């Protein structure tokens, strides 16, 4: 067996790490940054701290606070136009997944002709950017600061597709997550859980990605509920920030699979938060993978600290893992699709999109439209 492992970007991690941002960006030879963020990043205090550090190092800052959820292509084009007009020489994304993905996509437009939809295709391509892309995370879930994935909403075809852009530097300061509201704490933390669990059970996993993913799962089950119930607990927030980062490296090295295909389809149909969609999908995605990867389900169950007797089948392990995930979700008052008023038939109508999503090919079992419909039905009925 041969495999490759890597890390896309150096990570500055720890409480107060944001203060190092300006000096590190200056060391890259940059003089003028386009700061890309949304309302959440601004509310966290992360934007003010990031810009403060940049300006203290002599970096001029151009503000682009127009990021919207799910990174619509129109917003990317708008940010690209601003960056070109202002002649910036680096991009600094500050926030959660949408802000960091937007920053990576905007970096493409600094040296490649737009619009961004030219590069965001159903089957992702890698685009080399020439300006540094620095990612400052203000949530503990997306892992986008260390992945080469930038998800963009192709609004012209009502689909979330990806383009691959490698970040230059990541800053993960858990203090920036202390103001994250309860719902976002739950959704982003469950997103990190899905990254870890799907990367372990995908067809491209490796011992290195498994190591990081399993460590992330342990930290998530030990700390996520505490972050939700005690928002100011910096120790738990620090552990969750580390878990999110490790899960991001793991799935970037391996891949996610049908859980994210299911999540993307729900996002396109209902515009529900990505982390929520991933959480609803994860038990069924793992159940789908269980017959082909029972040993991986056992590793996940052990990382969740579930009581096992030994000798459980893949299906039994999947049921135990699913129960543990749903229990964590209920403890944080995560609502079901039914409770939110979504129509079951509309959910099942997403089956074709799930089967066509390139991520489904990384599931260890074949995802046909019929299998996808069954998984969607179980998502609706089982939680």
Mean pLDDT in residue range 181-191:
97
Instruction: Kindly indicate the confidence band of residue 38, based on its pLDDT and cuts at 50, 70 and 90.
Output: very high
pLDDT tier, 224 (very low <50, low <70, confident <90, very high otherwise): very high
Report the chain's C-alpha Rg in angstroms: 20
Closest to 216 measured CA to CA, from 178, 183, 258, 254: 254
* Residue 198 clears pLDDT 80, i.e. is over it: yes
Alpha-carbon span 184 to 158, nearest angstrom: 24
Peptide bond preceding 41: is omega within 30 degrees of 0, i.e. cis?
A: no
Mean pLDDT for the chain overall: 96
Query: Which domains does the chain carry?
Result: 11-176 (3.40.50.1970), 181-382 (1.20.1090.10)
Neighbouring C-alpha atoms within 13 Å toward the C-beta of 217: 28
Q: Average the pLDDT over 236-240 and give the result.
A: 98
Token pair recorded at residue 291: 């017959």
Average pLDDT (243-271) is 96
- Say what the pTM is: 0.95
Look up residue 181 and give its two tokens: 């509201």
């Amino acid at each position: 067996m041969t495999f490759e492992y890597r890390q896309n970007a150096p990570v500055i991690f720890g409480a107060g790490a944001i203060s190092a941002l300006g000096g590190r960006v200056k060391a890259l030879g940059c003089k003028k940054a386009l700061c890309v963020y949304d309302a959440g990043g601004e509310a966290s205090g992360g934007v003010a701290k990031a810009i403060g550090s940049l300006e203290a190092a002599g970096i001029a800052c151009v503000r682009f606070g127009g990021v919207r959820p799910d990174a619509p292509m129109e917003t990317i084009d708008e940010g690209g136009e601003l960056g070109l007009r202002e002649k910036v020489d680096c991009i600094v994304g500050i926030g959660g997944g949408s802000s960091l993905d937007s920053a990576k996509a905007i970096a493409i437009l600094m040296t490649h002709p737009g619009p961004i939809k030219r590069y965001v295709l159903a089957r992702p391509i890698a685009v080399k950017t020439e300006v540094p892309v620095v990612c400052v995370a203000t949530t503990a879930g997306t892992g986008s600061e260390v992945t080469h994935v930038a998800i963009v909403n192709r609004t012209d075809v009502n689909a979330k597709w990806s383009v691959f852009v490698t970040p230059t530097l990541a800053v993960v300061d858990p203090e920036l997550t202390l103001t994250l509201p309860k719902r976002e704490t739950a959704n982003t933390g469950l997103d990190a859980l899905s990254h870890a669990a799907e990367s372990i059970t995908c067809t491209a996993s490796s011992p290195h990605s498994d190591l990081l993913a399993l460590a992330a799962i342990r930290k998530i089950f030990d700390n996520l509920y505490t972050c939700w119930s005690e928002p100011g607990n910096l120790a738990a927030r620090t552990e969750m920030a580390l878990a999110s980062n490790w899960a991001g490296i793991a799935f970037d090295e391996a891949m996610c699979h049908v859980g994210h295909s299911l999540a993307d389809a729900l996002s396109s149909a209902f515009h529900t938060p990505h982390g929520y969609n991933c959480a609803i999908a994860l038990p069924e995605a793992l159940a789908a993978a269980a017959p082909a990867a029972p040993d991986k389900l056992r590793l996940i169950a052990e990382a969740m600290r579930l009581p096992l007797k030994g000798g459980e089948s893949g299906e039994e392990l999947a049921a135990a893992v699913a129960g543990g995930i749903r229990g964590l979700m209920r403890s944080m008052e995560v609502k079901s699709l039914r409770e939110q008023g979504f129509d079951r038939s509309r959910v099942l109508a997403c089956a074709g999109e799930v089967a066509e999503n390139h991520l489904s090919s990384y599931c260890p079992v074949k995802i046909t439209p019929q299998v996808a419909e069954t998984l969607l039905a179980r998502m609706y009925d089982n939680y």
